[in-house]
Every structure is written in structure tokens, then in C-alpha cells.
Amino acid sequence: MRTMTRTVGALAFAGAATTLLAGCGGDAEAEPAAATTAYDPLYADGVYDGPVETNPRGDYQAQVAIEGGVITDVQAIQAGTQDAESVSINARAIPELREKVLEAQSADIEEVSGASYTSPAFTDSVAGALEDAAEAYSS
């Protein structure tokens, strides 16, 4: 995966740890600590095509739709070769990867078991699309 997604995971962990520690204070009359998110992705609305990622099983490319700053859809533009094994694996893995990205609102997700070529290529393409959406937001 790209460095960005690993950093996001580390930031989320650090933020969660900070929030938990903040709740351990001893002042009983103090207001409860407000829950904060360590990483609040800021994406520009639109449809973004990720880069084409190539491996021995073919080319993979994801398309990500953003609406209201939220990832609303993830589709495969390209998904490996037309080899029967690749088609079979991708028919199972791509929908599962899609759901994981939608749930996580990130490309920082666990790989799908049995899809060792599809998972990293697809999520790297998603990460590239999200980088473009974040860049468009900050422009």
C-alpha cells in the first residue's frame, strides 16, 4: 500500500489512544472528553479514477465517487486478466474490497483472503483516487 494509507492508520491509532487516555482523568466534575477523530478526510466531490496498477495477473484500476466529502461508491474499471481463475477471484474479491472501502472510508483496509494480486493492486488504485480527491479539496 501507499505510505499515505499506513500513516492514516497510525494517526487513527494515535488519536484513539489519546481519546482513551483523556477519558482517564481524575476530575469527576470535569466535562467528559469529546470524542475526536484523528483523521477527518476532506475530499472534493466528484468521480476519481485511480492509477492503473499492474501485476502478473493484469491491470487493475478503481474509480471512486465522492459526495458530500464521503466515499459513496467504488467500482473496478479494470480488474486483471480474462483468465478464468482471475475472473473468478475478482468476482468475489472486488465486491468485498468495495464494501471494506465504503465502511472504512479509506483505502487502508485488510486484504481479501485468496486475492493476493487483486487486493493490493485494487486498494493502491483506490488510494491514488483518494489522493486526487484530497488534492482537489485543498486546491
Extents of the domains making up the chain: 43-138
Answering whether pTM is above 0.85, one says: no
How do residues 52-69 score in pLDDT, each as one tens digit? Answer: 999 999 999 999 999 999
Q: How far apart are CA 116 and CA 70, in angstroms?
A: 27
Q: What percent of the chain has pLDDT over 70?
A: 71
SS (HEC) of the chain: CCHHHHHHHHHHHHHHHHHHHHCCCCCCCCCCCCCCCCCCCCCCCEEEECCCEEECCEEEEEEEEEECCEEEEEEEEEECCCCHHHHHHHHHHHHHHHHHHHHHCCCCCCCCCCCCCHHHHHHHHHHHHHHHHHHHHHC
Cell of 33: 472528553
> Do residues 48 and 130 make contact, with C-beta atoms less than 8 angstroms apart?
yes
Question: Given a cut of 50, is residue 34 above it in pLDDT?
Answer: no
pLDDT at 41: 55
CATH code linked to domain 43-138? 3.90.1010.20
How do residues 53-110 score in pLDDT, each as one tens digit? Answer: 999 999 999 999 999 999 999 999 999 989 999 999 999 999 999 999 999 999 999 9
Per-residue pLDDT averaged across 6-11, rounded? 38
Confidence label for 7 from pLDDT (cuts 50, 70 and 90)? very low
Confidence label for 40 from pLDDT (cuts 50, 70 and 90)? low
Question: Given a cut of 60, is residue 124 above it in pLDDT?
Answer: yes
Helices 118-138, 84-104: crossing angle, 10 deg rounding: 40
Cell of 3: 505510505
